[in-house]
Amino acid sequence: MSPPPAFAFAGASPYLALLGRLLLAVIFLLSGFSKLTGASGTIAYIESAGLPAPTLAYAVALVVELVGGLLLVVGFRTRLAALVLALFTVAAAFGFHSDFADQNQMIHFLKNIAITGGLLQVVGFGAGALSFDARLQRD
C-alpha cells in the first residue's frame, strides 16, 4: 500500500516553502525596481487613477514592494511582511483594477486576489525551515 499523497511531499516541504516565497517575492521586487527607475511615470499613473497624495503613495508602494519582497526572499519577519504585502495587494486591486466591465482589469484584480491568497498562506504557516525566522527560533 502506498503512503497517502500528503506524505509524498514531506521531504520537499522546506524547499517548496522557499520556492513559494521566492515566486511571491519576484512580482514585488520587479515592480518595486520598476517604480524606482520610473518615479515620474509611476506618480503620474497613481494620479491618473484618482488616488490621493500620489507622491506619498509612490513612496509607500516603493518601500512596501522592495522591503517586503526582500523580507520574503530571506524569510525574516516573514509573517508580518506577508501580511503587509497582502493588504497592499488588495488595496492595489481596488485602487487600480476595479473596472470590472473591462475583462483585462478583472483578470488583474483576480490575479491580485490570488497573490493575496498565497501571501495569507505565508501569514498562516510561516516562512518554513529555510528562513531566517526558523533559524532565529532554533537559536
SS (H, E, C) 37-94: HCHHHHHHHHHHCCCCCHHHHHHHHHHHHHHHHHHHHHCCCHHHHHHHHHHHHHHHHH
Q: What is the pLDDT of residue 11?
A: 85
Q: Could you tell me if residue 4 is inside a domain? A: no
Q: What is the pLDDT of residue 56?
A: 98
Q: What is the tally of structural domains in the chain?
A: 1
Q: Could you tell me if residue 12 is inside a domain? A: no
DSSP 49: T
109 burial type by CB count under 10 A (0-12 exposed, 13-18 middle, 19+ buried): buried
Q: What is the pLDDT of residue 91?
A: 97
Q: What is the pLDDT of residue 93?
A: 97
pTM: 0.91
Residue 73 contacts residue 26 (beta carbons within 8 Å): no
Q: Could you tell me if residue 8 is inside a domain? A: no
Q: What is the pLDDT of residue 9?
A: 73
Q: Could you tell me if residue 37 is inside a domain? A: yes
Q: Could you tell me if residue 54 is inside a domain? A: yes
Low-confidence ranges of the chain (pLDDT < 50): none
Segments forming the whole domain that contains residue 67: 18-138
3-state secondary structure of 52: coil
Q: What is the pLDDT of residue 5?
A: 63
Q: Could you tell me if residue 29 is inside a domain? A: yes
Q: What is the pLDDT of residue 108?
A: 96
Q: What is the pLDDT of residue 25?
A: 98
Q: Could you tell me if residue 129 is inside a domain? A: yes
- The pair phi, psi for residue 5, each rounded to 5°, is -55, -30
CB atoms < 10 A from the CB of 94, how many?
10
Q: What is the pLDDT of residue 102?
A: 95
Q: What is the pLDDT of residue 86?
A: 98
For residue 115, which of 91, 78, 86 has the smallest C-alpha distance? 86
Q: What is the pLDDT of residue 1?
A: 60
Q: Could you tell me if residue 99 is inside a domain? A: yes
Q: What is the pLDDT of residue 6?
A: 61
